[in-house]
Structure 1
Amino acid sequence: MPQPKPIRKEIKIVTVQNIIKGQKQNGFPMRKWKISVQGVNSNGDEESMPYVDYVEYILHESFEQPLRKVTEYPFSLQEKGWGEFDMKIMLYFTDKSVPPVQLDHDLHFQSTQYEMPHTLTFRSDVKAGFLKLLKSRSSPSSDRETSVDSSEEAASKPKRRRDAPVKEKSKRVKDESSEDDSLDSSAAASGDEWGDKIDVHQLAKKFQMLQEEDLAELVQLVKDHQTADMYVQEDGDAGEFHIDLRTLGDELLTILWQFCDKKLERELSD
Protein backbone atom coordinates (compact mmCIF):
# COMPACT_ATOMS: atom_id res chain seq x y z
CA MET A 1 0.00 0.00 0.00
CA PRO A 2 1.50 3.36 -0.99
CA GLN A 3 2.36 5.72 1.81
CA PRO A 4 0.34 8.97 1.91
CA LYS A 5 2.28 11.92 0.58
CA PRO A 6 3.46 14.52 3.08
CA ILE A 7 1.98 18.01 2.97
CA ARG A 8 4.37 20.74 1.92
CA LYS A 9 3.97 24.45 2.51
CA GLU A 10 6.16 27.04 0.83
CA ILE A 11 7.22 30.09 2.83
CA LYS A 12 9.80 32.82 2.54
CA ILE A 13 11.78 34.97 4.95
CA VAL A 14 11.84 38.58 3.75
CA THR A 15 14.55 40.95 4.97
CA VAL A 16 14.51 44.72 4.38
CA GLN A 17 17.30 46.97 5.67
CA ASN A 18 18.64 50.49 5.19
CA ILE A 19 21.20 52.83 6.70
CA ILE A 20 20.17 55.30 9.40
CA LYS A 21 21.79 58.49 8.20
CA GLY A 22 24.13 60.17 10.66
CA GLN A 23 24.38 57.24 13.08
CA LYS A 24 27.54 55.14 13.43
CA GLN A 25 28.95 52.61 15.86
CA ASN A 26 32.47 51.16 15.86
CA GLY A 27 33.08 53.01 12.59
CA PHE A 28 30.16 51.37 10.79
CA PRO A 29 26.84 52.95 9.85
CA MET A 30 23.84 51.95 11.94
CA ARG A 31 21.09 50.18 10.04
CA LYS A 32 17.41 49.59 10.57
CA TRP A 33 16.23 46.14 9.52
CA LYS A 34 12.99 44.21 9.46
CA ILE A 35 12.44 40.49 8.98
CA SER A 36 9.08 38.89 8.13
CA VAL A 37 7.90 35.32 7.57
CA GLN A 38 5.37 35.01 4.75
CA GLY A 39 3.42 32.16 3.20
CA VAL A 40 3.63 31.50 -0.54
CA ASN A 41 0.87 29.81 -2.54
CA SER A 42 1.20 27.65 -5.67
CA ASN A 43 1.08 30.74 -7.89
CA GLY A 44 3.94 32.38 -6.03
CA ASP A 45 1.67 34.93 -4.37
CA GLU A 46 1.64 35.71 -0.67
CA GLU A 47 -0.79 33.82 1.54
CA SER A 48 -1.38 33.87 5.27
CA MET A 49 -0.15 31.14 7.62
CA PRO A 50 -3.07 30.28 9.95
CA TYR A 51 -1.36 27.03 10.94
CA VAL A 52 1.48 28.97 12.66
CA ASP A 53 0.74 29.99 16.24
CA TYR A 54 3.78 32.24 16.77
CA VAL A 55 7.38 32.81 15.69
CA GLU A 56 10.45 33.20 17.89
CA TYR A 57 13.56 35.03 16.70
CA ILE A 58 16.79 34.08 18.44
CA LEU A 59 19.16 37.01 17.89
CA HIS A 60 22.84 37.43 18.63
CA GLU A 61 23.59 37.31 22.34
CA SER A 62 24.75 40.94 22.32
CA PHE A 63 21.15 42.09 21.82
CA GLU A 64 19.05 43.05 24.79
CA GLN A 65 16.46 40.27 25.14
CA PRO A 66 17.82 38.15 22.27
CA LEU A 67 14.71 35.91 22.30
CA ARG A 68 11.78 37.69 20.61
CA LYS A 69 8.27 36.27 20.26
CA VAL A 70 5.93 37.55 17.52
CA THR A 71 2.33 36.36 17.39
CA GLU A 72 0.70 38.02 14.36
CA TYR A 73 1.20 37.43 10.66
CA PRO A 74 3.52 38.23 8.88
CA PHE A 75 5.48 37.75 12.12
CA SER A 76 7.67 40.82 11.55
CA LEU A 77 10.55 41.83 13.79
CA GLN A 78 12.17 45.25 13.43
CA GLU A 79 15.50 46.15 15.01
CA LYS A 80 18.63 48.18 14.39
CA GLY A 81 22.35 47.48 14.62
CA TRP A 82 25.62 47.78 12.73
CA GLY A 83 26.69 44.17 12.19
CA GLU A 84 25.68 41.05 10.30
CA PHE A 85 25.01 37.78 12.11
CA ASP A 86 23.28 34.41 11.83
CA MET A 87 20.01 34.00 13.71
CA LYS A 88 17.57 31.18 14.30
CA ILE A 89 13.86 31.54 13.57
CA MET A 90 11.53 29.08 15.31
CA LEU A 91 8.03 28.39 13.96
CA TYR A 92 5.49 27.06 16.48
CA PHE A 93 2.23 25.60 15.21
CA THR A 94 -1.37 25.76 16.38
CA ASP A 95 -1.32 21.98 16.88
CA LYS A 96 1.04 21.56 19.81
CA SER A 97 1.68 17.92 18.89
CA VAL A 98 3.48 19.11 15.75
CA PRO A 99 7.14 19.80 16.59
CA PRO A 100 8.38 23.36 15.99
CA VAL A 101 10.58 24.02 12.96
CA GLN A 102 13.92 25.80 13.18
CA LEU A 103 15.09 27.95 10.27
CA ASP A 104 18.60 29.39 10.03
CA HIS A 105 18.71 32.93 8.66
CA ASP A 106 21.72 34.99 7.59
CA LEU A 107 21.19 38.71 8.22
CA HIS A 108 23.47 40.53 5.80
CA PHE A 109 23.71 43.98 4.22
CA GLN A 110 24.53 43.08 0.62
CA SER A 111 21.03 44.05 -0.50
CA THR A 112 18.42 46.39 0.90
CA GLN A 113 15.80 43.67 0.36
CA TYR A 114 16.17 39.94 -0.15
CA GLU A 115 14.05 36.81 0.24
CA MET A 116 15.00 33.30 1.34
CA PRO A 117 12.59 30.47 0.41
CA HIS A 118 11.89 27.49 2.67
CA THR A 119 9.69 24.42 2.45
CA LEU A 120 7.82 23.11 5.50
CA THR A 121 6.91 19.42 5.45
CA PHE A 122 4.09 17.92 7.54
CA ARG A 123 2.81 14.39 7.94
CA SER A 124 -0.47 13.72 6.20
CA ASP A 125 -1.99 12.11 9.31
CA VAL A 126 -2.09 15.32 11.37
CA LYS A 127 -5.26 16.20 13.23
CA ALA A 128 -8.25 17.18 11.10
CA GLY A 129 -8.39 20.76 12.39
CA PHE A 130 -4.70 21.34 11.67
CA LEU A 131 -5.02 19.68 8.26
CA LYS A 132 -7.80 22.12 7.39
CA LEU A 133 -5.55 25.05 8.26
CA LEU A 134 -2.74 23.63 6.13
CA LYS A 135 -5.03 23.33 3.13
CA SER A 136 -6.58 26.77 3.48
CA ARG A 137 -5.75 29.29 0.74
CA SER A 138 -6.47 32.56 2.52
CA SER A 139 -4.74 35.81 1.57
CA PRO A 140 -3.33 38.13 4.24
CA SER A 141 -5.53 41.04 5.30
CA SER A 142 -4.17 44.33 4.02
CA ASP A 143 -5.21 46.31 7.07
CA ARG A 144 -4.10 43.88 9.74
CA GLU A 145 -1.49 45.34 12.07
CA THR A 146 1.63 43.33 12.86
CA SER A 147 2.96 42.70 16.34
CA VAL A 148 6.60 43.75 16.57
CA ASP A 149 8.87 43.22 19.54
CA SER A 150 11.93 45.46 19.23
CA SER A 151 14.68 47.06 21.30
CA GLU A 152 15.63 50.64 20.44
CA GLU A 153 19.21 50.59 21.64
CA ALA A 154 20.32 47.10 20.59
CA ALA A 155 23.48 46.66 18.52
CA SER A 156 24.94 43.37 17.37
CA LYS A 157 28.46 42.04 17.28
CA PRO A 158 29.08 40.84 13.70
CA LYS A 159 30.67 37.52 12.84
CA ARG A 160 31.67 39.01 9.51
CA ARG A 161 30.91 42.04 7.39
CA ARG A 162 30.01 42.37 3.74
CA ASP A 163 30.34 45.82 2.20
CA ALA A 164 29.61 47.42 -1.16
CA PRO A 165 32.98 47.50 -2.96
CA VAL A 166 34.30 49.82 -5.63
CA LYS A 167 36.87 47.58 -7.31
CA GLU A 168 39.37 49.44 -9.47
CA LYS A 169 40.63 46.25 -11.09
CA SER A 170 37.24 44.96 -12.15
CA LYS A 171 35.55 48.33 -12.64
CA ARG A 172 32.65 47.15 -10.46
CA VAL A 173 30.61 49.44 -8.24
CA LYS A 174 27.94 47.95 -6.00
CA ASP A 175 25.55 50.24 -4.20
CA GLU A 176 23.39 49.02 -1.31
CA SER A 177 20.40 51.17 -2.21
CA SER A 178 17.16 50.05 -3.85
CA GLU A 179 14.06 51.63 -5.30
CA ASP A 180 12.57 51.71 -1.79
CA ASP A 181 15.03 52.98 0.81
CA SER A 182 12.72 52.94 3.82
CA LEU A 183 11.40 50.10 5.90
CA ASP A 184 8.01 51.72 6.20
CA SER A 185 6.12 54.88 5.31
CA SER A 186 7.32 56.66 8.45
CA ALA A 187 11.00 56.49 7.51
CA ALA A 188 11.13 59.92 5.91
CA ALA A 189 9.49 61.54 8.90
CA SER A 190 12.02 59.90 11.23
CA GLY A 191 14.96 61.58 9.53
CA ASP A 192 16.24 58.59 7.55
CA GLU A 193 15.90 60.26 4.15
CA TRP A 194 19.02 60.88 2.08
CA GLY A 195 20.15 61.90 -1.41
CA ASP A 196 17.27 64.27 -2.12
CA LYS A 197 19.06 65.94 -5.04
CA ILE A 198 20.84 62.96 -6.62
CA ASP A 199 19.41 59.64 -7.79
CA VAL A 200 22.02 57.29 -6.32
CA HIS A 201 20.66 54.32 -8.24
CA GLN A 202 21.42 56.08 -11.51
CA LEU A 203 24.78 57.21 -10.14
CA ALA A 204 25.73 53.61 -9.34
CA LYS A 205 24.85 52.66 -12.93
CA LYS A 206 27.13 55.43 -14.19
CA PHE A 207 29.98 53.99 -12.09
CA GLN A 208 29.59 50.70 -13.93
CA MET A 209 30.22 52.44 -17.25
CA LEU A 210 33.50 54.09 -16.27
CA GLN A 211 36.93 52.98 -17.44
CA GLU A 212 39.51 51.69 -14.98
CA GLU A 213 41.54 54.87 -15.05
CA ASP A 214 38.37 56.87 -14.40
CA LEU A 215 37.66 54.80 -11.29
CA ALA A 216 41.06 55.75 -9.90
CA GLU A 217 40.15 59.43 -10.27
CA LEU A 218 36.74 58.79 -8.72
CA VAL A 219 38.32 57.19 -5.67
CA GLN A 220 40.60 60.20 -5.25
CA LEU A 221 37.59 62.54 -5.46
CA VAL A 222 35.91 60.67 -2.64
CA LYS A 223 39.08 60.81 -0.53
CA ASP A 224 39.47 64.55 -1.13
CA HIS A 225 35.94 65.28 0.08
CA GLN A 226 35.62 62.60 2.75
CA THR A 227 34.18 63.56 6.16
CA ALA A 228 33.75 61.62 9.41
CA ASP A 229 30.07 60.97 8.71
CA MET A 230 30.78 59.09 5.48
CA TYR A 231 31.22 55.34 5.23
CA VAL A 232 34.45 55.06 3.22
CA GLN A 233 37.03 52.33 3.69
CA GLU A 234 40.03 51.22 1.63
CA ASP A 235 41.39 47.70 1.45
CA GLY A 236 44.80 48.12 -0.14
CA ASP A 237 45.70 44.42 -0.06
CA ALA A 238 42.56 43.46 -1.98
CA GLY A 239 42.67 46.51 -4.24
CA GLU A 240 39.18 47.52 -3.13
CA PHE A 241 37.62 50.81 -2.09
CA HIS A 242 34.42 50.48 -0.07
CA ILE A 243 31.84 53.27 0.00
CA ASP A 244 28.16 53.64 0.76
CA LEU A 245 26.62 56.26 -1.50
CA ARG A 246 23.87 56.99 1.00
CA THR A 247 26.36 58.42 3.49
CA LEU A 248 28.18 60.79 1.11
CA GLY A 249 25.80 63.76 1.18
CA ASP A 250 24.38 65.82 -1.67
CA GLU A 251 27.50 67.91 -2.27
CA LEU A 252 29.83 64.98 -2.91
CA LEU A 253 27.14 63.06 -4.79
CA THR A 254 26.73 66.04 -7.11
CA ILE A 255 30.49 66.15 -7.71
CA LEU A 256 30.56 62.44 -8.53
CA TRP A 257 27.55 62.78 -10.83
CA GLN A 258 29.19 65.62 -12.78
CA PHE A 259 32.47 63.67 -12.92
CA CYS A 260 30.72 60.63 -14.39
CA ASP A 261 28.83 62.71 -16.94
CA LYS A 262 32.04 64.36 -18.08
CA LYS A 263 33.88 61.07 -18.47
CA LEU A 264 31.02 59.32 -20.23
CA GLU A 265 30.49 62.22 -22.63
CA ARG A 266 34.19 62.06 -23.51
CA GLU A 267 33.92 58.34 -24.26
CA LEU A 268 30.94 58.92 -26.55
CA SER A 269 32.77 61.61 -28.49
CA ASP A 270 35.93 59.50 -28.99
Structure 2
Amino acid sequence: MPQVVTSQHIVKRQKQFGFHMRKWKICIYGVNARNEEEPLPYVDYIEYVLHETFKPPLRKVIEYPFELREMGWGEFDMKIRIHFKDKASPPVTLDHDLNFQHPQYEIPHVLSFKPDVKPSFMKLLSQAPEPSIERETPLSSNDEASEGKANKRQRDTIAKDRSKRLKEDQSSDDDSQQDSSAATSGDEWSEKINIRALAEKFQELSADDLLELVQLIKANQTEDMYVKEDGEAGEFHIDLQTVGDKLLGVLWQFCEKRLSQ
Protein backbone atom coordinates (compact mmCIF):
# COMPACT_ATOMS: atom_id res chain seq x y z
CA MET A 1 0.00 0.00 0.00
CA PRO A 2 1.20 3.57 -0.56
CA GLN A 3 2.38 5.62 2.40
CA VAL A 4 2.57 9.42 2.20
CA VAL A 5 5.62 10.71 4.10
CA THR A 6 5.86 14.44 4.83
CA SER A 7 8.91 16.15 6.33
CA GLN A 8 9.53 19.84 6.99
CA HIS A 9 11.94 22.23 8.68
CA ILE A 10 12.38 25.95 9.26
CA VAL A 11 14.53 27.98 6.86
CA LYS A 12 16.98 30.22 8.69
CA ARG A 13 16.62 33.97 8.46
CA GLN A 14 13.63 33.86 6.10
CA LYS A 15 10.23 35.19 7.19
CA GLN A 16 7.00 36.28 5.57
CA PHE A 17 4.34 38.24 7.46
CA GLY A 18 6.39 37.63 10.60
CA PHE A 19 6.40 33.83 10.26
CA HIS A 20 9.31 31.55 9.45
CA MET A 21 9.48 30.08 5.98
CA ARG A 22 9.67 26.30 5.87
CA LYS A 23 10.99 23.82 3.36
CA TRP A 24 8.79 20.77 3.04
CA LYS A 25 8.96 17.53 1.14
CA ILE A 26 6.42 14.84 0.32
CA CYS A 27 7.27 11.31 -0.86
CA ILE A 28 5.07 8.31 -1.53
CA TYR A 29 6.58 4.95 -0.60
CA GLY A 30 5.24 1.45 -0.95
CA VAL A 31 4.83 -0.46 2.33
CA ASN A 32 3.97 -4.15 2.72
CA ALA A 33 2.19 -5.96 5.57
CA ARG A 34 5.46 -6.18 7.55
CA ASN A 35 5.86 -2.39 7.32
CA GLU A 36 8.82 -2.83 4.99
CA GLU A 37 9.35 -0.52 2.05
CA GLU A 38 8.69 -1.91 -1.40
CA PRO A 39 8.34 -0.27 -4.83
CA LEU A 40 5.03 0.69 -6.41
CA PRO A 41 5.35 -0.86 -9.90
CA TYR A 42 1.65 -0.39 -10.64
CA VAL A 43 1.81 3.41 -10.26
CA ASP A 44 2.41 5.38 -13.46
CA TYR A 45 2.76 8.87 -11.99
CA ILE A 46 1.57 11.14 -9.18
CA GLU A 47 -0.12 14.53 -9.40
CA TYR A 48 0.06 16.95 -6.47
CA VAL A 49 -2.67 19.60 -6.42
CA LEU A 50 -1.28 22.43 -4.29
CA HIS A 51 -2.77 25.64 -2.95
CA GLU A 52 -3.52 28.09 -5.75
CA THR A 53 -0.82 30.49 -4.49
CA PHE A 54 1.81 28.00 -5.74
CA LYS A 55 2.74 28.47 -9.38
CA PRO A 56 1.89 26.17 -11.02
CA PRO A 57 -0.43 24.54 -8.48
CA LEU A 58 -0.49 21.20 -10.34
CA ARG A 59 2.74 19.17 -10.17
CA LYS A 60 3.38 15.87 -11.95
CA VAL A 61 6.06 13.45 -10.69
CA ILE A 62 6.85 10.21 -12.53
CA GLU A 63 9.79 8.65 -10.66
CA TYR A 64 9.57 6.66 -7.44
CA PRO A 65 9.35 7.73 -4.60
CA PHE A 66 7.46 10.58 -6.33
CA GLU A 67 9.23 13.30 -4.38
CA LEU A 68 7.94 16.87 -4.28
CA ARG A 69 9.88 19.70 -2.62
CA GLU A 70 8.55 23.19 -1.95
CA MET A 71 8.84 26.12 0.43
CA GLY A 72 6.23 28.28 2.17
CA TRP A 73 4.96 29.55 5.50
CA GLY A 74 1.39 28.23 5.64
CA GLU A 75 -0.35 24.91 6.17
CA PHE A 76 -3.06 23.81 3.73
CA ASP A 77 -5.13 20.85 2.52
CA MET A 78 -4.00 19.38 -0.77
CA LYS A 79 -4.97 16.61 -3.17
CA ILE A 80 -2.73 13.75 -4.28
CA ARG A 81 -3.85 11.90 -7.42
CA ILE A 82 -2.39 8.45 -8.09
CA HIS A 83 -2.43 7.44 -11.76
CA PHE A 84 -2.00 3.76 -12.59
CA LYS A 85 -0.23 1.99 -15.44
CA ASP A 86 -3.49 0.25 -16.26
CA LYS A 87 -5.36 3.11 -17.93
CA ALA A 88 -8.65 1.27 -17.40
CA SER A 89 -8.24 1.86 -13.66
CA PRO A 90 -9.31 5.41 -12.81
CA PRO A 91 -6.96 7.63 -10.76
CA VAL A 92 -7.37 7.61 -6.99
CA THR A 93 -7.43 10.95 -5.16
CA LEU A 94 -6.07 11.20 -1.62
CA ASP A 95 -6.75 14.11 0.73
CA HIS A 96 -3.56 15.24 2.44
CA ASP A 97 -3.18 17.69 5.32
CA LEU A 98 0.13 19.53 4.95
CA ASN A 99 0.90 20.75 8.46
CA PHE A 100 3.90 21.79 10.53
CA GLN A 101 3.01 20.02 13.79
CA HIS A 102 5.85 17.49 13.49
CA PRO A 103 9.21 17.39 11.66
CA GLN A 104 8.01 14.24 9.88
CA TYR A 105 4.78 12.25 9.76
CA GLU A 106 3.63 9.21 7.77
CA ILE A 107 0.10 8.37 6.63
CA PRO A 108 -0.67 4.96 5.04
CA HIS A 109 -3.48 4.55 2.51
CA VAL A 110 -5.24 1.38 1.36
CA LEU A 111 -6.12 1.12 -2.33
CA SER A 112 -8.85 -1.08 -3.75
CA PHE A 113 -9.34 -2.17 -7.35
CA LYS A 114 -12.17 -3.78 -9.29
CA PRO A 115 -11.87 -7.56 -9.70
CA ASP A 116 -11.92 -7.30 -13.50
CA VAL A 117 -8.52 -5.57 -13.89
CA LYS A 118 -6.26 -6.74 -16.70
CA PRO A 119 -4.00 -9.76 -15.98
CA SER A 120 -0.93 -7.64 -16.79
CA PHE A 121 -1.98 -5.07 -14.19
CA MET A 122 -2.76 -7.80 -11.65
CA LYS A 123 0.78 -9.03 -12.13
CA LEU A 124 2.12 -5.57 -11.29
CA LEU A 125 -0.08 -5.46 -8.18
CA SER A 126 1.32 -8.77 -6.98
CA GLN A 127 4.97 -7.75 -7.41
CA ALA A 128 6.68 -7.41 -4.03
CA PRO A 129 10.02 -8.31 -2.41
CA GLU A 130 8.36 -11.48 -1.08
CA PRO A 131 5.48 -12.55 -3.37
CA SER A 132 2.53 -14.19 -1.63
CA ILE A 133 1.60 -16.31 -4.68
CA GLU A 134 1.96 -20.03 -3.97
CA ARG A 135 4.22 -22.13 -6.20
CA GLU A 136 2.92 -25.22 -8.02
CA THR A 137 5.96 -27.29 -7.02
CA PRO A 138 7.42 -27.38 -3.51
CA LEU A 139 10.79 -25.81 -2.88
CA SER A 140 13.72 -27.77 -1.61
CA SER A 141 15.45 -26.53 1.52
CA ASN A 142 18.31 -25.17 -0.61
CA ASP A 143 15.85 -23.33 -2.88
CA GLU A 144 14.09 -21.86 0.14
CA ALA A 145 17.37 -20.67 1.59
CA SER A 146 18.44 -19.12 -1.72
CA GLU A 147 15.10 -17.38 -2.18
CA GLY A 148 15.16 -16.12 1.42
CA LYS A 149 18.63 -14.64 0.92
CA ALA A 150 17.59 -13.00 -2.36
CA ASN A 151 14.51 -11.46 -0.77
CA LYS A 152 16.53 -10.27 2.20
CA ARG A 153 19.07 -8.62 -0.11
CA GLN A 154 16.25 -6.89 -1.98
CA ARG A 155 14.66 -5.64 1.26
CA ASP A 156 18.04 -4.50 2.58
CA THR A 157 18.74 -2.59 -0.64
CA ILE A 158 15.41 -0.74 -0.44
CA ALA A 159 15.91 -0.03 3.26
CA LYS A 160 19.42 1.33 2.64
CA ASP A 161 18.17 3.57 -0.16
CA ARG A 162 15.47 5.02 2.09
CA SER A 163 17.91 5.40 4.98
CA LYS A 164 20.29 7.25 2.66
CA ARG A 165 17.52 9.63 1.56
CA LEU A 166 16.58 10.34 5.17
CA LYS A 167 20.20 11.00 6.13
CA GLU A 168 20.60 13.39 3.20
CA ASP A 169 17.53 15.31 4.40
CA GLN A 170 18.82 15.40 7.97
CA SER A 171 22.24 16.65 6.90
CA SER A 172 20.62 19.65 5.21
CA ASP A 173 18.50 20.33 8.32
CA ASP A 174 21.27 20.48 10.95
CA ASP A 175 19.83 23.49 12.75
CA SER A 176 16.15 22.74 12.29
CA GLN A 177 15.61 21.86 15.96
CA GLN A 178 17.25 25.07 17.10
CA ASP A 179 15.17 27.10 14.65
CA SER A 180 11.93 25.49 15.83
CA SER A 181 12.24 27.19 19.21
CA ALA A 182 12.77 30.50 17.47
CA ALA A 183 9.49 30.03 15.61
CA THR A 184 7.51 29.96 18.82
CA SER A 185 9.35 32.70 20.67
CA GLY A 186 9.72 35.10 17.73
CA ASP A 187 9.38 38.84 17.82
CA GLU A 188 6.45 39.58 20.14
CA TRP A 189 3.96 42.27 19.15
CA SER A 190 3.82 44.56 22.16
CA GLU A 191 1.18 47.07 21.07
CA LYS A 192 -2.50 46.45 21.69
CA ILE A 193 -4.57 46.19 18.53
CA ASN A 194 -7.96 47.83 18.08
CA ILE A 195 -9.97 44.71 17.29
CA ARG A 196 -12.94 46.62 15.90
CA ALA A 197 -10.67 48.53 13.51
CA LEU A 198 -8.98 45.27 12.48
CA ALA A 199 -12.35 43.66 11.71
CA GLU A 200 -13.23 46.66 9.53
CA LYS A 201 -9.98 46.22 7.61
CA PHE A 202 -10.96 42.60 6.91
CA GLN A 203 -14.07 43.90 5.13
CA GLU A 204 -11.93 46.00 2.79
CA LEU A 205 -9.72 43.13 1.60
CA SER A 206 -10.13 41.52 -1.81
CA ALA A 207 -11.23 37.90 -2.19
CA ASP A 208 -7.66 36.74 -2.88
CA ASP A 209 -6.34 38.65 0.12
CA LEU A 210 -9.05 37.16 2.34
CA LEU A 211 -8.07 33.67 1.21
CA GLU A 212 -4.46 34.36 2.13
CA LEU A 213 -5.59 35.85 5.44
CA VAL A 214 -7.48 32.66 6.27
CA GLN A 215 -4.39 30.57 5.49
CA LEU A 216 -2.36 32.85 7.74
CA ILE A 217 -4.79 32.32 10.62
CA LYS A 218 -5.02 28.54 10.11
CA ALA A 219 -1.24 28.23 10.03
CA ASN A 220 -1.06 29.77 13.50
CA GLN A 221 -4.24 28.44 15.05
CA THR A 222 -4.08 27.35 18.70
CA GLU A 223 -6.50 25.50 20.97
CA ASP A 224 -7.35 28.77 22.72
CA MET A 225 -8.65 30.39 19.52
CA TYR A 226 -12.27 30.18 18.42
CA VAL A 227 -12.27 29.36 14.71
CA LYS A 228 -15.14 27.88 12.72
CA GLU A 229 -15.07 27.07 9.02
CA ASP A 230 -18.11 26.20 6.93
CA GLY A 231 -16.78 24.91 3.62
CA GLU A 232 -20.20 24.42 2.01
CA ALA A 233 -21.32 27.96 2.80
CA GLY A 234 -17.89 29.40 2.07
CA GLU A 235 -17.74 31.06 5.49
CA PHE A 236 -14.88 31.44 7.95
CA HIS A 237 -15.52 32.72 11.49
CA ILE A 238 -12.94 33.82 14.07
CA ASP A 239 -13.28 35.51 17.45
CA LEU A 240 -10.51 38.11 17.47
CA GLN A 241 -10.82 38.31 21.26
CA THR A 242 -9.29 34.83 21.44
CA VAL A 243 -6.29 35.67 19.24
CA GLY A 244 -2.97 36.43 20.93
CA ASP A 245 -1.18 39.77 20.64
CA LYS A 246 1.47 38.44 18.26
CA LEU A 247 -0.98 37.08 15.69
CA LEU A 248 -3.16 40.20 16.00
CA GLY A 249 -0.12 42.28 15.15
CA VAL A 250 0.70 40.12 12.15
CA LEU A 251 -2.90 40.33 10.89
CA TRP A 252 -2.83 44.11 11.28
CA GLN A 253 0.44 44.35 9.34
CA PHE A 254 -0.96 42.08 6.65
CA CYS A 255 -4.03 44.29 6.19
CA GLU A 256 -1.98 47.47 6.21
CA LYS A 257 0.30 46.10 3.50
CA ARG A 258 -2.51 44.81 1.27
CA LEU A 259 -4.70 47.92 1.60
CA SER A 260 -1.81 50.25 0.81
CA GLN A 261 -1.12 48.59 -2.55
Which interval holds the TM-score relative to the shorter structure?
Answer: 0.5 to 0.7
1:57 and 1:87 in contact (8 A); partners too: yes
Q: Residue in 1 aligned with 2:53? A: 62
1:34 and 1:76 in contact (8 A); partners too: yes
**Alignment identity in percent?**
52
- Larger Rg, first or second structure (1 or 2): 2
The count of aligned residue pairs is 168
Q: Does the alignment pair 1:185 with 2:171?
A: yes
Higher share in helix:
2
Alpha-carbon spacing, 1:241–1:109, altered in 2? closer, same or farther (3 Å)? farther
TM-score calculated relative to the size of structure 2: 0.55
Higher share in strand:
1
Q: Residue in 2 aligned with 1:50? A: 41
TM-score calculated relative to the size of structure 1: 0.53
Q: 1:25 aligns with which of 7, 16, 23?
A: 16
Q: 1:130 aligns with which of 121, 141, 144?
A: 121
SS in 1 for 2:128: coil
1:112 and 1:181 in contact (8 A); partners too: no
SS in 2 for 1:105: strand
For 1:119, the aligned partner's letter is: V
Q: Residue in 2 aligned with 1:99? A: 90
Task: Give the Å deviation of 1:227.
Answer: 4.9
1:38 and 1:48 in contact (8 A); partners too: yes
2:48 and 2:59 in contact (8 A); partners too: yes
- In the TM superposition, what are the counterparts of 1:207-218 in structure 2 within 5 Å? none
CA deviation digits over 1:115-155, x for unaligned, max 9? 112110012221111101101113574559xxxxxxxxxxx
Q: Does the alignment pair 1:75 with 2:63?
A: no
Gaps of 5+ in 2: 130-154, 189-219, 226-240, 247-261
Alpha-carbon spacing, 1:241–1:19, altered in 2? closer, same or farther (3 Å)? farther
Q: 1:37 aligns with which of 18, 22, 28?
A: 28
CA deviation digits over 1:207-232, x for unaligned, max 9? xxxxxxxxxxxx9xx6xxx658xxx9
For 1:185, the aligned partner's letter is: S
- In the TM superposition, what are the counterparts of 1:120-269 in structure 2 within 5 Å? 120-138=111-129, 139=155, 141=158, 142-143=160-161, 183-188=169-174, 195=178, 227=187
Give the Cα–Cα distance (whole angstroms) in 2 for the partners of residues 117 and 240 of structure 1.
Answer: 35
